[in-house]
Each structure stands twice: as structure tokens, then as C-alpha cells.
Amino acid sequence: MTTSRGHYYAGLQQIAAVANAGLTLRRTCNAVAKIIAVSMDMTGCRVLLLNTKKDYLTTVGSFGLSDLYLRKGPLDARKSLPEVLEGRIAVVQHAPTDARVQHPEVAESQHVVTIVAAPIVRKPDMVGEVRAYSRQPRTLSELDEDFLRSAANVCAVLFERAELSQFRDRVKKSCAKRATAALPAQMPPTSLKPTEFAHESEAEFASLLDFYQIEWLYEPRSFPLAWNGDGISLMFTPDFYLPELDMYIELTTMKQDLITQKNRKVRKLREMYPDINVRLLTRKDFARLLSKYGYGPQGDAKVEGVGRVLYSQTQIQRRVRSLARRISRDYAGQRIVMIGVLKGVVCFMSDLMQHISIPVRVDYMDISHYGGDGEIVKITRDLDAPIVGEHVLMVEDIVDTGMTLNYVLAHLASHKPATLRVCSLLDRTPRRLANVKLDYVGFEIPDEFVVGYGLDYKDEYRNLPFIGILKQD
């Protein structure tokens, strides 16, 4: 079928009117999706938002697509029509057999044949996609593609407007709450949130995840649990999916009988989908989690003063394991002596050594800095046992100027170890004075003061399970 310019002009006119109607982002995008589908004579359409890490796409508005299709699972932007990430239009002629389609079995069952996708670009970034779907095979003309691109341009503006308004709300909220002690005063930098939550508790949980930089997707997948003839009679859509942990989470803050009901669904889901990791969080679990991280009233660990999380617990643990693997491989068949300087290194040392798969001996030193600028270093606690002829791995929490490490390495070298190498969790180079070689580095960090995971500011914050940037006063 051919669609005339006039027809598309009318479509764009409608889109412009909807964009300026003062609706929420979701409702605006639903309407835009409908206008696109109708104008292009397609079965359905959806507007997708790309997250900041550019790895997942989330639906912000749709038309003509089943819930099962919309919630077929986390949509990985790199696997699903990857050319759109590079700014190009993608056309899929036969979805069930196309390698670029991430869930072909769902496309098949939902009779989706042709897919056309256009990038939503906010220069220089890709921020989302518009996808239109057809149940009939379709070829697309230049005019069709131009129309889709124009609609996508309007979506870019809609996203930007919604982001600004969310930012305003966040600032207002954080100003109002600043008086309460446990809440971090500065909100983490987040971009557009695609989601209007069904419950306040979900929004709270999402902001907790944001603060800890734990990636989340809201209701990305519906699991059919029972069928009635051809139709699905029971479906379960967990609230959140956490890609880093590969875990689905269902929050339940309601009455006990509802918890029992949800428990039954969760049990059924586990039976039918044994590979899926799903957790039910009750109000109590959730409160415990909030308070553990300093959000709740009985939170004892000090988080106040931390501006934002730089590395989450998961990110740290993953990196520590990979460092331990490399070290174990490099020293295969040997024994090492791991030496740390107290106290900042305790968390890192403890986690690192547990993942090292060769024999290990551990020793600690303590030093004090004094003199005008702390430039004089003195050893206040020396090693327990000699290291002559040993393979020594000096373990550090952070190397900044490198002066401490330089001094300690010279001291260790004078005891004639067989080899002497350095493993530092963090490496901050901008103020480096001493030319020290780091053999293993966890993360290179920006020029900011960090706390947590053993690192302190005036002896506080060491017990936080993550590494955060301290706010500057």
C-alpha cells in the first residue's frame, strides 16, 4: 500500500497536538504510538527508552501489542536490532526467524512478522527507539521511514521534557526531606525514569536501588502460569528485575493473606521456570533492607555525607573475584605472602584472600604519618614473620600520591623477598608523586575523596559495603 505525504502530514499534526496536550509521559507516548501505528497501517507500535548504561530498553508507551509481547523479558539493546544503537533504521522482514530478534518465539506466538525500528536521538546520544510492528509482510518506502524518524524526533523532545520535570520533582523532594537525618541529602545523578509505579513502596525501592547504582527494570516480564484451552488463565509479573544479580523481585507490603497468595504464585513460577531466580520481599524484609542502608529510622550505619555510590557492593565483589583469579593464575604452584597496611585495607584483604586458590600467608603493618603535611612516614607495627625469599604481594586499598606505598615497598624490598608486586583496589592518578608500579588494579577512580569498604573519613564510614564519594562541604 502507498501512503501519501498528505496522510503523513495529518499524522504529524496529530502527534504535535498530543505532545503539547500536557499529558504524562506514558499517556503521551501511548497516543504517539497509536498515531504512528494507524498512520503507517501497522498492527502495533511502542516507544522505548534506553537506560543510561545503554544496555536495556524499557517500554514507555505502546499501542496494539499484547501484554505478553510487551513483557516478554528484559530487552537487551545490544542483542535486539543492534544497528539502531548506531543511529540507523532497522527493518526486520520475518521476525520469528531473524537473528536480530531477541525473543523470536514470542514474535511467532504473537504473529509479529515485520518490525521497523528508528532511533530516538538526542545529539550526540541515542536515548531510545520507536518500533512499529505488522502482522503482514511489509516493505517500507523512504516516505514511511521519514515519517518514523520525524515521530522519533518528537519523542526525543518528550523525553527531555519529562526528564527536566522529574529532576525538578527530585530536587523539591530532597529539599523537603533534608531535615531527616538518615536520608542522603544529595540525590544520585539519574536520568529519565520510564516508570509510573503502581505503589509508593515500589518507587521507594527503585530509589534505593538507584542510590546504590543497582540497575533495575520494572516489570519487564510476565510469566504465564496456567492455561485455559488456548488462552492464558494465570499470569505473574514480578515487580522488578535486577540484571546484575539476574534476579526478579516481587514486593509485597500488604496483608498476610495476600502474601500467602503471592507465595503460591512464586512457588509455581519456580516450579515451572526453574532457571528463574525470584524473591518475594515482604514489608519486613524491605524495611530491614532500607534500614541496613541507612534509609530507615533504625539505620545505624552512617551513610549521611555520602554524595553518591561510586561502586556498588556487587561491582566490587565481582572485581575482587576477577583480581583473585588473575593473581592465582599468575602465581600458580607457588605460595604468596599478602601484606596490607592497616586499617583501610581490611575489607579488601579479607575478600581478596578468600578467593585466592593458592596457599597464602597474611601479614599486616601499621604506619603513622606526621610532620607538617604528613610527609614523614613511620612504621608503628612491623611484620610478624620474615619475608626473605618469599613471593610478596603488597595489598593496598588506594594509591593516591603513592608516597605511602613507595615508603613501604622500600622497607619490604630491604628484607629481600624473592619477588615483590602490588595489588591496589583503587588507583587515583591525578596527584601521583612517586613513580610506583601497580601490578593489579581494581578500579581507576576520578579525583574525589572516597569512603566505605574499609576506607574512612575521620575513622568513619569503614563499614559501608560499597565505595561512595564523600560530599564536599
Dist CA 272 CA 267 (whole Å): 9
The least distance separating ligand IMP from the CB of residue 53, rounded to whole angstroms, comes to 25
The least distance separating Mg ion from the CB of residue 342, rounded to whole angstroms, comes to 8
Place of cell 498476610: 256
| Residue pair 155/127 in contact by the 8 Å Cβ criterion | no
Residue 422 within binding range of ligand IMP, rule CB under 6 A = no
Residue 344 within binding range of Mg ion, rule CB under 5 A = yes
146 binding partner (options Mg ion, ligand IMP, none; Cβ < 5 to 8 Å by kind): none
Residue 455 DSSP symbol? B
Cell numbers that stand for 262 in this block: 503471592
CA dihedral 320, 50, 163, 63 (to 10 degrees): -140
- Which 334-353 positions form the footprint of ligand IMP (CB under 6 A)? 344
Distances (CA, A) of 252 to 239, 286, 291, 396: 10, 9, 17, 42
Stretch that binds Mg ion, among 5-13, 28-36, 96-104, 336-344 (CB under 5 A): 336-344
Stretch that binds Mg ion, among 70-78, 133-141, 394-402, 421-429 (CB under 5 A): 394-402
Question: Cβ atoms within 10 A of the Cβ of 53, count?
Answer: 10
Cα 55 off chain centre by: 9
Nearer to ligand IMP, 204 or 456 (CB): 456
Report the alpha-carbon angle 226-232-237, nearest 5.
75
Residue 402 within binding range of Mg ion, rule CB under 5 A = no
The least distance separating Mg ion from the CB of residue 325, rounded to whole angstroms, comes to 24
Among 403, 408, 409, 422, binds ligand IMP (CB under 6 A): 403
| Residue pair 26/61 in contact by the 8 Å Cβ criterion | yes
The least distance separating ligand IMP from the CB of residue 412, rounded to whole angstroms, comes to 15
Angle, helix 283-292 to helix 200-211, in steps of 10 degrees: 30
Residue 408 within binding range of ligand IMP, rule CB under 6 A = no
| Residue pair 467/311 in contact by the 8 Å Cβ criterion | yes
- Which 131-190 positions form the footprint of Mg ion (CB under 5 A)? none
Residue 427 within binding range of ligand IMP, rule CB under 6 A = no
449 binding partner (options ligand IMP, Mg ion, none; Cβ < 5 to 8 Å by kind): ligand IMP
Stretch that binds Mg ion, among 232-240, 292-300, 339-347, 420-428 (CB under 5 A): 339-347
Q: Which residues contact residue 359 at a Cβ distance below 8 angstroms, ignoring those fewer than 6 apart? A: 335, 336
| Residue pair 142/150 in contact by the 8 Å Cβ criterion | no
Reading phi first (left if > 0) and then psi (alpha if -120 to 50, else beta), residue 73 is in left
Strand pairing partners for 395?
340, 423
Nearer to ligand IMP, 273 or 449 (CB): 449
| Residue pair 251/259 in contact by the 8 Å Cβ criterion | no
Nearer to ligand IMP, 66 or 401 (CB): 401
The least distance separating ligand IMP from the CB of residue 361, rounded to whole angstroms, comes to 21
Residue 398 within binding range of ligand IMP, rule CB under 6 A = yes
Dist CA 60 CA 196 (whole Å): 9
Among 120, 339, 392, 399, binds ligand IMP (CB under 6 A): 399
| Residue pair 233/226 in contact by the 8 Å Cβ criterion | yes
- Which 443-472 positions form the footprint of ligand IMP (CB under 6 A)? 449-451, 455-456
Nearer to Mg ion, 249 or 426 (CB): 426
Dist CA 338 CA 358 (whole Å): 12
Question: Cβ atoms within 10 A of the Cβ of 370, count?
Answer: 10
The least distance separating Mg ion from the CB of residue 297, rounded to whole angstroms, comes to 34
Stretch that binds ligand IMP, among 208-216, 324-332, 379-387, 392-400 (CB under 6 A): 392-400
**400 a catalytic residue:** yes
φ, ψ of residue 387 to 5 degrees: the values are -120, 15
The least distance separating ligand IMP from the CB of residue 449, rounded to whole angstroms, comes to 4
Dist CA 58 CA 222 (whole Å): 14
Nearer to Mg ion, 111 or 462 (CB): 462
Nearer to ligand IMP, 351 or 396 (CB): 396
From the candidates 144, 210, 351, 400, give the one annotated as an active-site residue: 400
The least distance separating ligand IMP from the CB of residue 404, rounded to whole angstroms, comes to 3
Nearer to ligand IMP, 20 or 435 (CB): 435
Nearer to ligand IMP, 339 or 399 (CB): 399
| Residue pair 159/195 in contact by the 8 Å Cβ criterion | no
What is the CB-side half-sphere exposure of residue 383 using CA atoms within 13 A? 21
Cell numbers that stand for 446 in this block: 576520578
Nearer to ligand IMP, 75 or 450 (CB): 450
The residues that touch Mg ion, with contacts defined as CB under 5 A, are: 341, 344, 397
Question: Annotated active-site positions, please?
Answer: 400
Contact set with ligand IMP (CB under 6 A)? 344, 396-405, 449-451, 455-456
